[in-house]
């Protein structure tokens, strides 16, 4: 009998798909990233959350994967809000957030939560100002007013006042903020609320803010998206974690701190801010809204890894322990090169102690 065309199609599709699946499987075993000859099944940890520490986490997890060879970590930088939501829905093994969970949120997690600071970062105001001066200084009044939409030009007298000697171009400001629920926004609004009573009253502290309804404010998802938009838009200014600005070589503003001095975001100024908080509570949730000290960078925050207290799968439990060990140990040495602040030794000890709660 002649094979009719329909049947031929079905047959060829079948053959194709078989070949395809076989090809994938082969590809998998042949790829250099998987360890050679490992007979034990690898454990996968699924994580999601903050984009603030994402460049560092992705690097850590890749390095850790190479070292451990039995564990691999899939981290989706969806934003802190989404991470916490996933943790509550139990669709992940761990989450990450720069806004520690609220008591209300913790109550929703059946297996309990352990919050572990992994690193700390500086929120910076990255900008894109063609023909601008080498350094832009922003006073507390200036950056609050920019974010509240009250300053619309780079050569506004308020900005000019703190940049005496420099000539600021007559360029319109575009403010870039986060469109998603974000821990970075939480950190930033915490600081603004501490600094500016008007902000506190109107916008407050949250992962999402009802931003001023002005036409020069654009929203983008995640730290990465804000950074990309700033990079792409002349006259733009936006808040991101320092690492994003460092690695994409965008200039960042020098900010006025509580004691009135202008400070650049460096590891030293960040560490000074971390050191300004001395008593750490047991749940390791520390807010540094507005650090005191002449050499403190004003907007600094820890960022947390959110783990369950109980893991039913022993392989996953072990993997989480090992992962945390790696991150607060060896991992700390590369934080600085990516733009983050290494944890103070005292904090590392506390994190190690807290890890015991994960069972």
Partner 1 sequence: MKNTIGTSLKFERTIDSAFRRVCWTLALLTILLGGLIVFEIFYHATPAIKKYGFSFLTSSQWDPANEAYGVLPEIWGTFYSSVLALIVAGLLGVSVAIWLTQNFLPSRVEWFLKTVVELLAAIPSVVYGLWGFYYVIPMLRPFAGWLHEQFSWVPFFSTPFTGPGILPAALVLGIMILPTVASISRDALSAVPSRLKEAAMGLGATRWEVIWKVVLPTASRGIGAALVLGFGRAIGETMALAMLAGNSSRLTLSLLSPSNTLAARLANQFPEAGPSEASALMFAALVLMALSLSANVFGVVINLRARYKLARVGVAR
Partner 2 sequence: MSMSPATQQEFDTQSLFYNRWKSRSLRNSLMNWVSGSIALIACLPLLSLLGMVIYRGSRALSWSSFVELPPAPMQEGGGFGNAMVGTITMVSIAALLAVPSGILTAIFLAFLGPDSKLAEAVRFVARVLSGLPSILAGVFAYAMVVLVMKSYSAFAGGVALAVLMLPIILLTAEQSMRMVQARLIEAAVGMGCTSAQVVRRVLLPTAFPGILTGVLLAVARAAGETAPLLFTALFSNYWLVQEGQLKLAEPTASLAVFIFNFSGSAFDNLVEMAWSGALILVLMILTLNLSAQLLAKKLQR
Q: Which residues bind partner 1 (CB under 8 A)?
A: 78-79, 81-82, 85, 152, 172, 174, 179-181, 206-208, 210-211, 213, 215-221, 229, 232-234, 236
- Cα distance between residue 204 and residue 202, in whole Å: 6
Structure-token pair, residue 336: 């600085």
SS3 content of the chain, % helix, strand, coil (to 5): 40, 20, 40
Stretch near partner 2 under the rule CB under 8 A, chosen from 168-176, 228-236, 295-303, 311-319: 228-236
Q: What is the CA radius of gyration of the chain?
A: 24
Q: How far is the CB of 245 from partner 2 (least distance, A)?
A: 9
Query: Which residues, numbered 7-46, are part of the site for partner 2 (CB under 8 A)?
Result: 9, 17, 20-21, 24-25, 27-28, 31, 33, 41-42, 44, 46
Stretch near partner 2 under the rule CB under 8 A, chosen from 149-157, 244-252, 267-275, 303-311: 244-252
126-135 as b/e: b if 16+ CB within 10 A: bbbbeebeee
Q: Give which of partner 1, partner 2, none residue 72 binds (C-beta under 5 to 8 Å, depending on kind).
A: partner 2
Contact predicate 252/124, CB 8 Å: yes
Q: Which is nearer to partner 1, 193 or 254 (CB)?
A: 193
Residue with tokens 């907007």: 299
- Cα distance between residue 191 and residue 200, in whole Å: 10
319-338 as b/e: b if 16+ CB within 10 A: bbbbbbebbbeebbeebeeb
- Cα distance between residue 207 and residue 189, in whole Å: 8
Stretch near partner 2 under the rule CB under 8 A, chosen from 84-92, 111-119, 297-305, 341-349: 84-92
Structure-token pair, residue 186: 């939480």
346 part of the interface to partner 2, by CB under 8 A? no
Q: Give which of partner 2, partner 1, none residue 211 binds (C-beta under 5 to 8 Å, depending on kind).
A: partner 1
75 part of the interface to partner 2, by CB under 8 A? yes
What are the residues binding partner 2 (CB under 8 A)?
4-6, 9, 17, 20-21, 24-25, 27-28, 31, 33, 41-42, 44, 46, 54-55, 58-59, 62, 72, 74-76, 89-91, 220-222, 224-225, 227-231, 244, 247-248, 250
């Amino acid at each position: 009998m002649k094979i009719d065309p329909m049947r031929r199609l079905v047959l060829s599709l079948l053959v194709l798909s078989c070949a395809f699946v076989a090809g994938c499987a082969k590809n998998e075993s042949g790829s250099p990233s998987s360890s050679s000859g490992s007979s034990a099944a690898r454990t996968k940890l699924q994580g999601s959350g903050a984009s603030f520490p994402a460049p560092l986490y992705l690097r850590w997890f890749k390095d850790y994967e190479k070292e451990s060879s039995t564990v691999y970590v899939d981290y989706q930088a969806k934003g802190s809000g989404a991470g916490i939501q996933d943790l509550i829905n139990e669709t992940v093994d761990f989450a990450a957030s720069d806004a520690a969970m609220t008591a209300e949120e913790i109550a929703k997690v059946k297996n309990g939560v352990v919050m572990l600071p992994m690193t700390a970062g500086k929120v910076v105001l990255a900008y894109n100002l063609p023909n601008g001066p080498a350094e832009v200084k922003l006073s507390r009044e200036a950056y609050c007013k920019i974010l509240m939409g009250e300053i619309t030009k780079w050569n506004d007298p308020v900005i000019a006042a703190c940049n005496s000697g420099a000539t600021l171009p007559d360029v319109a400001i575009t403010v870039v903020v986060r469109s998603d629920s974000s821990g970075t926004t939480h950190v930033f609004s915490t600081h603004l609320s501490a600094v500016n009573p008007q902000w506190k009253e109107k916008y407050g502290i949250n992962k999402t803010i009802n931003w001023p309804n002005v036409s020069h404010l654009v929203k983008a998802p995640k730290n990465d998206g804000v950074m990309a938009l700033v990079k792409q838009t002349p006259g733009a200014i936006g808040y991101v974690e320092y690492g994003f600005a460092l690695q994409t070589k965008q200039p960042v503003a020098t900010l006025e701190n509580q004691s009135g001095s202008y400070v650049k975001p460096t590891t030293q100024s960040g560490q000074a801010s971390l050191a300004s908080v001395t008593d750490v509570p047991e749940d390791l949730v520390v807010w540094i809204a507005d650090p005191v000290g002449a050499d403190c960078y004003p907007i600094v925050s820890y960022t947390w890894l959110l783990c369950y207290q109980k893991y039913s799968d022993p392989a996953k439990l072990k993997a989480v322990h090992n992962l945390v060990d790696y991150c607060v140990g060896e991992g700390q040495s590369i934080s600085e090169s990516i733009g983050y602040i290494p944890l103070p030794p005292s904090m590392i000890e506390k994190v190690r102690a807290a890890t015991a709660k994960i069972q």
